A = this chain, B = another copy of it.
Amino acid sequence: MQKIEIFSSNKKKIDFWDKMLTWLKDDFAKVNNVIMDNMNSSVPLISQLAGYIISSGGKRIRPLLTLSTSKLCQYNGTRHVNLAACIEFIHTATLLHDDVVDESKKRRGKTSANNVWNNKSSILVGDFLLSKAFRLMIKDGSNQCLEIISKASVEISQGEVLQLESCNQIDTSESNYLKIIEAKTASLFCAACTVSGIISKIDNCKQQALNDFGKNIGMAFQITDDTLDYCSNDLVLGKNTGDDFREGKVSLPIILAYKRSNKKEKEFWTRTINNQDQNCTDFIIAKEILQKYNVIEDCFLKAQHYSLIAKDSLSPFENNSDKEKLLEMCEVIVKRKS
């Protein structure tokens, strides 16, 4: 069997994530094993394609949230391992389908799976991983965890469809955007944290705290992600900046820019986003309009707004080194460059 280093170190990774991985090393190794065992199939193409996307890096932020919030809850059982793997499987399945839907060429700096293989294989292997995720949940045996994670899975698909509907609609409202990212991203972040509380049998107040923490760190993460697509360095981001712009994906930076634009600029957005009539200099013009209206800074401020809610939501937990790492994560997530 091919040995895949799922949590291998990466020179580009910033210090914080290394620290997290060192902190959670033993648990991560176990999650790694569960992922390896479950992505294997008697059908070689499934193992290859699933292995390709799972081993292609990424910060593993969702399983990391489950493991780290379990530590916060002083959980000392083993259920968090399977649940973390399950959350990562759901996420990976959505990545595979997203790349088909978005016609992406790259994912985390590598050729996307749908481009290495084809759309058909990505769709079907996504279904395989989603079904496997449910089997991992079932193994856990808790109806509450099943309820939480399966609800998130429904919400993700609803969020993705909402996003598809807003595509090429430059006059999408900020509230609609927030609704989309809450469903497609924050719901799984929230589930990743909430299940830790369930298995640790914490009180309602702390449970609510974890729920709020997960949801808000998810919002902060996605806003940052969407903003980086207009200001990061391609090599650091691991995908092409401007992908969202070229696809006509209506995310926060251009929603704000459109609202603030004058008549001529509004025509620019309508042409490039709604009519998808773009030429090679349009992304530069788009970035100039964003700069003119201070949009990037404002987007980061909005991300920080959610990050701060996430931090404060942890107040019911006692201050200790575990909590400090989660608080630091809230900051790192909005300050990252990729």
Q: Which residue numbers of A lie inside 8 Å of B, CB to CB?
A: 41-43, 45-46, 93-94, 97, 100-101, 119-121, 123-128, 130-132, 134-135, 138, 141, 143, 146-147, 150-151, 153-154, 156-158, 160-162, 164-165
Contact = CB atoms under 8 A, between A and B. Distances in A.
Contact of A138 (B97, B123, B135, B150): B150
A135 B150 contact: yes
Given A138-B143, A138-B147, A151-B135, A160 B130 contact: no
Contact of A123 (B123, B131, B156): B123
A55 to B, nearest CB: 19
Contacts of A100: 119-120, 123
Contacts of A151: 135
Copies in the complex: 2
Contacts of A126: 127
Given A123-B101, A123-B123, A146-B138, A45 B128 contact: no
Contact of A134 (B42, B134, B143, B164): B134
Given A120-B101, A135-B154, A128 B161 contact: yes
Contact of A124 (B125, B130, B153, B164): B164
B97 A160 contact: no
Given A150-B131, A150-B134, A161 B124 contact: yes
Contacts of A157: 46, 124-125, 127-128, 131
Nearest to A128: B157
Contacts of A125: 157, 161
A33 B12 CA distance: 53
A157 B41 CA distance: 11
B124 A46 contact: no
